[in-house]
Amino acid sequence: MEYLVKKLYKLIDTEKYAGYILILPNLIFFSIFFVYPFLSVWVYSLTDWDLFSSPRFVGLSNYIRLVLEDELFRKVLLNTLYYSFVAVPTALFVAFWLALLLNRAMPGTIFFRTIYFLPYVTLMSAAAIVFSWLYHPDYGLINYLLEKIGIHGVNWLNDERWAMPAVIILENWHALGYPTLVYLAAFQGIPGELYEAARIDGANWWYQMRYITLPLSTSAIFFTLTTSLIGAMQTFDSFFILTKGGPAYATTPISYYLYQNGFEWFKMGYASTIACILFVFIGLITLIQWKLGKTWVYEG
């Protein structure tokens, strides 16, 4: 035992192995909770498994069924695309202009920056419960205010036309603070001499924003767009709490469909296949963004 302790101390003292030994606990944690589950999902996607009996190997039949035969999967895929490519651009657009306002020197700036960031650190479960009350068709505050201005309220969470917009409103309210903070940091990193030179040359506010602020903020826009799309395609909790995927699967994204197959219908092999397809889909979208980003992101 003493010999092993001395050998261990000797390894730690050497520069070659000290780093590996220090990161070993994190590597073990990463392997157990990330690498092993990731590889297991790909294995289980090739099986028929109900969580109770032993997995039965079925090859690529799950993938063939999912892509060619599962019409519900096509619907939830369209739901995911609709949600992602509506919620994310609208949130980032609002966040950009909100950051421009918060970047101005005015009384209470720090207070307003804090207020707009608070929803981001609020638990989504708590926020979704509050919004479910606000969306109540008979007693909700939103319909009450609409009635006051002469607009008949709608059944937000039980109408196929309004259920997805209702979830998007919640998600945008909850996530708005993060891109706003990123854009604000990007704006404050732009040298003031550029604006001063532009003003001397006669450039108004719009030209300053168009030719200075926007180009020098493209890296922040690219970062928030990429990370927000990845997060949107994995959104689960707001749909689970607000709508349970309804009505008529109108608000069922891929993540919730995966949950239903795995933990409600006990089709874990099929759920694993959905997870793998979602992984590949997100990877392709991200790769496309990286390729297109080279054409419009300023790297100077």
pLDDT digits (tens, 9 = 90+) for 266-282: 999 999 999 999 999 99
Q: What mean pLDDT do residues 47-63 have?
A: 94
**What are the pLDDT digits (tens) for 16-36?**
667 777 788 899 999 999 999
The domains of the chain are located at 2-44, 71-296
Q: Model's pTM, two decimal places?
A: 0.89
The sign of the CA dihedral 238, 240, 243, 248 is: positive
pLDDT of 15 reads 61
At residue 39 the predicted structure's pLDDT band, cuts being 50, 70 and 90, is: very high
Greater confidence, 10 or 195?
Answer: 195
pLDDT of 109 reads 81
Question: Which three-class secondary structure state does DSSP give residue 79?
Answer: helix
With a cut of 90, say whether residue 240 has pLDDT above it.
yes
* Cα(137)–Cα(135) distance, integer angstroms: 6
At residue 298 the predicted structure's pLDDT band, cuts being 50, 70 and 90, is: confident
DSSP state of 14: S
Question: To which residue do tokens 């003493």 refer?
Answer: 2
Q: H/E element holding 47? A: strand 47-48
CATH classification code of 71-296 = 1.10.3720.10
* Cα(69)–Cα(83) distance, integer angstroms: 23
Q: Which residues pair with 56 in a beta bridge?
A: 48
pLDDT of 270 reads 97
pLDDT of 300 reads 63
* Cα(163)–Cα(143) distance, integer angstroms: 14
> Percent of the chain scored above 70 by pLDDT?
94
Average pLDDT, the chain: 91
Q: What mean pLDDT do residues 191-203 have?
A: 92
pLDDT of 92 reads 96
Asked if 186 and 178 count as a contact pair (C-beta separation under 8 A), the reply is no
| Residues found in the chain | 300
Phi, psi (deg, nearest 5) at residue 108 = 80, 20
